[in-house]
Amino acid sequence: MAELAARQHGVVAAWQLAALGFTPTMIKRRLEAGRFYRVQHSVLSLTPQVLPRGRMLAAALTYGPKSALSYRASAAIWDLGPWPTGLIDVTVPRNARPRVGTKVHVATVERVVRDGFPVTTVARTLVDLAAVLPLGRLRDVFERAERLGVLDVYSVSEEMHGRRGAKKIRVVLAEWAEPEPTKNEFEQALRTLCREYDIPLPSQNVVLLGYEVDAFWEPDLVVELDSWEWHKTRRAFEEDRRKAAALEAAGYRVLRFSWRQIRGEPELVAAAIRSGCPRAGGRGRSPARAAARPPSAPSA
């Protein structure tokens, strides 16, 4: 039992103890003697204090061997979201009486074990979350799953049929399927935005401090166009930050926009450009900031 508890964050279920040869009478006597401590209905511990991970696992074990942590609880175990602070979501194959601190969902799901926790698969977890998260938060979770290398778009598509939240998932997957723009298409989209919002066209592919920048407005506004295709390596990521830091230190203002922002949030992008571009009606840098730029900075 001690070995099992050590693998399970300090907790064991009565049905697991039965497999080890414990009878109900043996369990009862140990509870009365203070050798076992009750954590959940039919879930016990060898110590009076149980850490949050143990209580999380107890929430699943109390419903039997076919239950699985799901929704926000599963997302936390997969490192896709924060540790839940309210009720712990558990999915069970048949109706069950809710236990203290848990929320029961009835469904037959594939069950996997991660770090000792029985959880729903990543695909099922994402589909479950789509029913309870707003679209923006759901995008964040999908992006984190992609960064962690656990996103399987095909499995998500298979899981989402007939599920609440499927419409939001289709929106997210449609964005994933959108092809990456070429550099010329990205630059053309920025020029189109400038024309539509009456912003002077920038100089493009200008060299400042030895770095090539995507767009430049005199005297000191730089806009960088961020594409996942161009910036997805660690080296490219670090180089982008190094360039931005050097430009900012020299007195330039650096703004970064993605393809989705330019195409889907043009008013926000235009307002940000105007705020740093005097020629477009913005305030730009204060004279003191502009004067702080070292003489070595090139002028356009």
The residue out of 176, 198, 225 marking a domain boundary is 176
In 10 A of CB 117, how many CB atoms? 22
Q: Is residue 7 part of a domain?
A: no
Mean of the pLDDT values across residues 195-222?
92
- 220 vs 300: which has the higher pLDDT: 220
Omega before residue 219 within 30° of 0, cis: yes
The Cβ of residue 294 has, within 10 Å, a number of other Cβ atoms equal to 9
101's torsion region: left (phi>0), alpha (psi -120 to 50) or beta?
left
Could you tell me the CATH number of the domain that includes residue 253? Answer: 3.40.960.10
Quick one: 93 and 147 in the same domain? yes
Do 170 and 202 share a domain, yes or no?
no
Among candidate residues 153, 176, 199, the one where a domain is terminated: 176
Give me the number of domains the chain comprises: 2
What pLDDT was estimated at residue 168? Answer: 93
Quick one: which of 284, 281, 269, 300 has its CA closest to 194? Answer: 269
pTM of the model: 0.63
What is the token pair recorded at 292? 């702080």
Range of the domain at 128: 51-176
Residue for token digits 């070595």? Answer: 296
Question: Do residues 59 and 161 share a domain?
Answer: yes
**Interval 40-62: pLDDT, tens:** 888 999 888 888 899 999 999 99
Give just the sign of the alpha carbon dihedral 145, 146, 152, 154: positive
For the residues of 1-39, what is the DSSP string, one character each?
Answer: -HHHHHHTTTEEEHHHHHHTT--HHHHHHHHHTTSSEEE
Please give the Cα distance from 234 to 245 (Å, whole number): 17
Residues 201 and 227 in one domain: yes
Residue 282: pLDDT above 60?
A: no
Q: At 168, give phi and psi (nearest 5°).
A: -65, -40
Structure tokens given for 183: 């550099």
How far is Cα 258 from Cα 180, in angstroms, rounded to an integer? 11
Q: What percent of the chain has pLDDT over 70?
A: 87
